[in-house]
Structures are given as C-alpha cells and as structure tokens.
Amino acid sequence: MSNTPTARGSSVPSKRLSRLWHLGRATGDLAAGIGVKGLIEMARNRGSSQFTRVQISPEHTQRFVDRLARMRGAAMKMGQLMSMDGTDMLTPEAAEILSALRDRAEPMPLSQLAKVLEREYGAGWNKQFKRFDFTPIAAASIGQVHRAETRDGRHLALKIQFPGVRESIDSDIDNLMFFGKTFGMMPPGIDIVPYMDEARRQLHREADYAVEADAMDAYRAQVGNDPDFFIPAIHRDLSTPSILAMDFAEGVPVDRLANPNYRRAERDRAATLLMRLTLRELFEFALVQTDPNFSNYLYDATNGRIVLLDFGATQRVEPHLVAQYRDLFRASIQDDRAGMRAAAVALGYMGADDPHEQMEAMIDMLCLSAEPLRQPGHYDFGASDLFERVFLRGRELLHSGVFTSVPAAETMFLHRKFMGSAMLSRRLRARVDLMTMAQTCLAM
C-alpha cells in the first residue's frame, strides 16, 4: 500500500433537502456573479437576436464550481455541460474555472473510501494489491479513479463510485426541475418532463458499473483493432456494481491539444478521428457513447492514439432512428429541402401539419446547423462563428413558441454527442473534412 491522501475530501450529501440547499446556494452564487444588471440584460435579450456574453466574476464562478464539486452526481453533470458551452456565452475566465468540473470533483474522505472498498471487496481487500494509491488521479460526477497494481502484476485504474450518488439521482433531477420552473428557465409550450425522465434513466444506467463494463466490451468489439484508438480492458474479477477495474492508460485530456505546444496537425488529426468515430457510432455501430465530456478522451502522444474512457452513457440506437438520421444527413449534404422536411417530420422536429412558415423556419435552422456538412474540403471550426449563429437562431425560435413538436426524448443524448464533437473541434481550432467522412459513412 502507498500514497496516503493529500486532501481530506468531503462526504457526498445524500438527502434531498440537503442537496436542494447546496443547489440553491450554487444557483445563488451564479446569480450573484452575474449581477442584477446582467440578469436584466439576459431577460431583455432572451428571445432576441442580440448575443449576450454572461459576465461572471471569477470569485462567484469558483464558489459555484466548489459547490457542485462537493455535491457530485446529476447536479455536477449540469455544471459539466455548462463548461462545454460552444457559444462563448461565458467569459474565458469563467469557462476556464468551470472546466475544472469535467474531472475534478471533490474526492471522498479516506474513511468513506475505506468503507466502500471493504463493502465491495470484503475484509482484507488490500491483500489483492501490491500497490494502491489512495490519492485519486481523477474525480468526476459519479466516482473517483485510483491507480493500483495487483499482486499478479496488473496495472489498473479503479473507478470507485461515490456512496449516495446513485440514491441522489432522482432528487437531483427533481431539484433541477424545481429551480427551472421557479426561475422561468423552461421554454414556453414545451413539456420537458419526458426529457428529464430520460436523463433520470440515463444517469441510473451510468451509476451501474456492471452495465458500463458490458458497454465497454460491446464498444471494443465494434472498434476492433483500429490502431488510432485504445479502449482499456475490463478486469471482471475486481469489478463490482460500484467499482470498475480496467487497464491503466496514459494520456492527457484531448482538449489540452489546444495549448500552443501542440502542432496544428495534431489538433486536426485528433478532431478528425473523433468526428469520424461519432459518425461511425451512429451509422455503423448503432451504439453511441453519448457523453462528450472532453475528459473522456485522452491523447496518448507516445503511441499517437486516443484513449476512450467512460462508457456509462453508452446507448444503442434503434434501426429506425439510424435510418431517419441517415435520410436527414444525406438531404442536408445535398441541400434537399424536401428530403430534410420529410426526415425532420419523421424525427419529430416538426409536425406534418405544422404551418408552412414554421416548417420553413425549421428547415432554415437545420440548413444552418449543417453548414460544415455542406462545405467541400476542410471546415475551419476555429474560424467559424457557427455556434453563435445557431445558438441565437435556436433561442429565438424556441422562445417564440412557434414549434408544436419536439423530438423523441431518446434523441436528446444523440444531440448532445453531435454538439459535443463539434464543440471539441472548435476548442481545438481544428480543420475537419466533415463532408467527405459523412459521405463515406452514409454509403456503408
């Protein structure tokens, strides 16, 4: 045994009222950081085409991050999504502080860690290990990761779930809905309950490490021997529903490639590989890892490959959905508005009997979003303001109340994956030939 913890950590709050209190404090910190003038400005521009950059003081942003990092769970997932904002709504300082939520939750105290290890492995659990580093190498929304070496020489990463997180998922979702309704954050005319229920189901799947282990094995079988990617193998003898044992893998979070010490060629290659993988997930695998958290991808410079981590959010896609997205992508590339309309109706983006003006507005929005697909050659995500244009137009249409239909809830996580892949390309300021790779996938 080695490496006693360098930080005491904190226990995970598990009661709904306790988590509601923490979430309320976090929301208050965020509102205070924006300020009265900022909130008024955001409200004034809510349905307009005017872009508002949210000014949040670093002090209040840090308090918000600290509060969510202490809560872990679904509430922290919300902060992670905020940290991946693709519109530059946040100031660079606030975005940088929020990025800590992607892999730096507050670790649990040693006493709590010891209880989890003994509960899952039994008394004398430490006899299985030659080395166990008590200081976690990463801590995210659901668990923290420890490096270990077994007596028989296996070098492992152990993902250990925070106690109480699984039980707090329902209360976190309920609390988020409460705050959304209280502060008028819900768009008019749209029932978000099915989406929140889908999020609830997804988070419960993510909290079951036995399910994640199966997903990793299924995904690895699809990727095969592709030398550009590495998926750690699962060690079943040391895995439980609350501990996931896998090969230890070297690498840095892929968004670090945005730093000046990495070459443009490396950024372009990494973004291209992950964008192609996203398309293959949908159109070839019908199995999508739907959490685009940048920290789920490590760049292994030594081997020139990308390490794929965290398959808790992996879900299969029904054949009819794959076919509908295939129709939408093909029509988008060809600028076929009639084909886009038919696919959009099939996917539930709009109703077949919606007024002509509403249908045209949705087709215009889809055409705008598909701009990288329609550009021959490399699309320069770093030089594009597409995210701002899509965000502003989408916000305007959403809050105008013109849409009577919403996509099926199961598409929510697919949208998150598409957006996350594009956000990463933007973060890396990468050039990606998206049209060519999409046409290749659609031809399969």
Residues catalogued as catalytic: 291
Q: Pull the structure tokens for residue 319.
A: 């054949």
DSSP code, position 284? I
Q: Are strands 138-139 and 129-132 parallel, antiparallel or unpaired?
A: unpaired
Which ranges of 301-385 would DSSP assign to H, the alpha helix? 319-333, 337-347, 356-369, 371-374
* Measured distance CA(69)–CA(390) in Å, rounded: 30
DSSP code, position 283? I
DSSP code, position 249? -
* Measured distance CA(331)–CA(341) in Å, rounded: 9
* Measured distance CA(141)–CA(368) in Å, rounded: 33
Supply φ then ψ for residue 85, to 5 degrees.
-50, 130
Place of tokens 């309704």: 181
* Chain CA centroid to CA 28, Å: 24
* Measured distance CA(135)–CA(196) in Å, rounded: 34
Going by C-alpha positions, the residue among 72, 69, 234 that lies closest to residue 157 is 234
8 A C-beta contact, residue 374 and residue 340: no
Q: Pull the structure tokens for residue 409.
A: 């809830």
Place of tokens 């080395």: 131
8 A C-beta contact, residue 207 and residue 165: yes
* Measured distance CA(246)–CA(224) in Å, rounded: 18
What type of residue sits at position 227? P
What type of residue sits at position 26? A
Supply φ then ψ for residue 65, to 5 degrees.
-65, -45
